């Protein structure tokens, strides 16, 4: 039996899902090259010298039940989330950090004042766990965009994750390191699997709730079917400009690929993003203090 050992720490899941959602019907692969001429493309041009990396992190502090007269209690999540930006030019500099707290629910609720700060009501579509988590994710995305604006412009802005919340920012590129969707039709997937380190696929246009150009990049040689593979996306530009951006991004990002002995999600978790994640987790504060403050606030109201 032949097999490979995935380098990612299994505590983070896997860099590619075992069953990928097929979205090839919403993709036009004939943007940069006709589908019949697809091949791995090497980087063309110098790397970018001024890069802003943006990321966010979130934590559920507690699950809450909200009393409602003459009705069953409403469910809510009290969460703390943070976003920040680090600039990499001649050195790495932390440019912005923003922290917020929210009470996520669709039930009638009021802000909670606690000893660690205010949990402001953030309305969600429903109270199912996935709806509450989606609400947290969306608010964190908004905070990431705010952190990027506070940090100022850069020659390249790399947003960790899909670009949806930051697609109106100048020079923004979404950096997706966990693959959950098949965007390429079956006949083009051999090109993806054959990408050498530092090479990318041609551009393809994806039209779902919004349109963007995407490409796959092999950051580094690694084991497993997703070894060193990431997807990048950009919006709001002409195809020729998108191709030039894709080439420069592909010449730049492999320089920041992490090593396995330093990061459990190597090589996809870029060094600046890993460092920013650690700082943001520190800024979230102590969870036990947050839980204690929420319990004290609940007792005070009672």
Is there a domain that residue 219 lies in? yes
Tell me the C-alpha to C-alpha distance, in Å, between residue 42 and each of 197, 235, 248, 249, 269. Answer: 9, 22, 10, 11, 21
Map the chain to HEC letters: CCCCCCCCCHHHCCCEEEEEEECHHHEECCCCCCHHHCCCECCCCCCCCCEEEEEEEEEEEEEEEECCCCCCCEEEEEEEEEEEEEEECCCEEEEEEEEEEEEEECCCCCCEEECCEEEEEEECCCCCHHHHHHHHHHHHHHHHHHHHHHHCCCCEEEEEECCHHHCCCCCEEEEECCEEEECCCHHHHHHHHCCCCCCECCCEEEECCCEEEEEEEECCCCCCCCCCEEEEEECCCCHHHHHHHHHHHHHHHHHHCCCCCCCCCCCCCCHHHHHHHHHHHHHCCCHHHHHHHHHHHHHHHC
Contact 189, 176 (CB under 8 A): no
Q: Tell me: the pLDDT tens digits for 146-194?
A: 999 999 989 999 999 998 888 888 999 999 998 888 889 989 999 988 9
Indicate if the pLDDT at residue 79 is higher than 90: yes
Q: Tell me: the pLDDT tens digits for 114-142?
A: 999 999 999 999 989 899 999 999 999 99
Residue 302: band (very low, low, confident or very high) from pLDDT cuts 50, 70, 90: low
Matching residue, tokens 């670009």: 163
Residue 16: band (very low, low, confident or very high) from pLDDT cuts 50, 70, 90: low
User: Which has more confidence, 209 or 85?
Assistant: 85
Residue 262: band (very low, low, confident or very high) from pLDDT cuts 50, 70, 90: confident
Indicate if the pLDDT at residue 1 is higher than 50: no
Is there a domain that residue 3 lies in? no
Question: Global pTM?
Answer: 0.90
Indicate if the pLDDT at residue 18 is higher than 60: no
Residue 109 pLDDT: 92
Whole-number Å distance between alpha carbons of 282 and 179: 28
Residue 266: band (very low, low, confident or very high) from pLDDT cuts 50, 70, 90: confident
| CATH code of 253's domain | 3.30.2170
Number of domains in the chain: 1
Is there a domain that residue 1 lies in? no
Residue 193 pLDDT: 87
Is there a domain that residue 123 lies in? yes
Is there a domain that residue 214 lies in? yes
Residue 159 pLDDT: 96
Residue 147 pLDDT: 96
Indicate if the pLDDT at residue 3 is higher than 60: no
Contact 198, 41 (CB under 8 A): no
Q: Tell me: the pLDDT tens digits for 231-245?
A: 999 997 789 999 999
Smallest Cα–Cα separation from 145: which of 176, 119, 115, 167? 167
What percent of the chain has a predicted confidence (pLDDT) above 70?
91
The total of other beta-carbon atoms located within 10 Å of residue 114's CB is 22
Is there a domain that residue 64 lies in? yes
Whole-number Å distance between alpha carbons of 19 and 4: 18
Tell me the C-alpha to C-alpha distance, in Å, between residue 60 and each of 104, 122, 136, 209. Answer: 10, 14, 9, 28
Is there a domain that residue 5 lies in? no
Smallest Cα–Cα separation from 211: which of 222, 219, 203? 203
Q: Which domain holds residue 150?
A: 10-301
Is there a domain that residue 85 lies in? yes
Residue 301 pLDDT: 79
């Amino acid at each position: 039996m032949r097999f490979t050992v995935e380098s990612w720490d299994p505590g983070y899941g896997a860099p590619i899902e075992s069953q990928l959602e097929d979205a090839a019907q919403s993709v036009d692969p004939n943007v940069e090259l006709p589908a019949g001429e697809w091949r791995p493309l090497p980087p063309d041009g110098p790397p970018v010298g001024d890069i802003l990396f943006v990321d966010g992190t979130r934590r559920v502090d507690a699950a809450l039940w909200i009393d409602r007269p003459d009705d069953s209690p409403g469910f809510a999540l009290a969460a703390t989330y943070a976003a920040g930006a680090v600039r990499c030019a001649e050195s790495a500099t932390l440019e912005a950090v923003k922290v917020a707290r929210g009470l996520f629910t669709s039930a009638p609720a009021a802000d909670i004042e606690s000893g660690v700060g205010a949990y402001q009501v953030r309305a969600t579509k429903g109270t199912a766990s996935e709806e509450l988590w989606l609400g947290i994710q969306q608010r964190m995305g908004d905070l990431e965009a705010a952190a990027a604006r506070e940090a100022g412009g850069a020659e390249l802005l790399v947003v960790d994750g899909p670009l949806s919340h930051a697609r109106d920012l100048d020079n923004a590129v979404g950096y997706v390191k966990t693959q959950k969707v098949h965007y390429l039709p079956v006949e083009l997937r051999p090109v993806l699997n054959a990408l050498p380190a530092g090479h990318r696929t041609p551009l393809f246009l994806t039209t779902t709730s919004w349109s963007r150009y995407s490409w796959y990049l092999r950051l580094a040689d690694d084991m497993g079917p997703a070894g060193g593979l990431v997807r990048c996306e950009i919006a709001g530009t002409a195809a020729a400009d998108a191709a030039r951006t894709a080439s420069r991004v592909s010449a730049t990002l492999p320089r920041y690929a992490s090593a396995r002995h330093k990061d459990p999600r190597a090589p996809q978790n870029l060094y600046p993003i890993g460092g920013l994640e650690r700082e943001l987790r520190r800024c979230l504060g102590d969870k036990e203090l947050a839980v204690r403050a929420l319990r004290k606030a609940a007792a005070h109201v009672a």
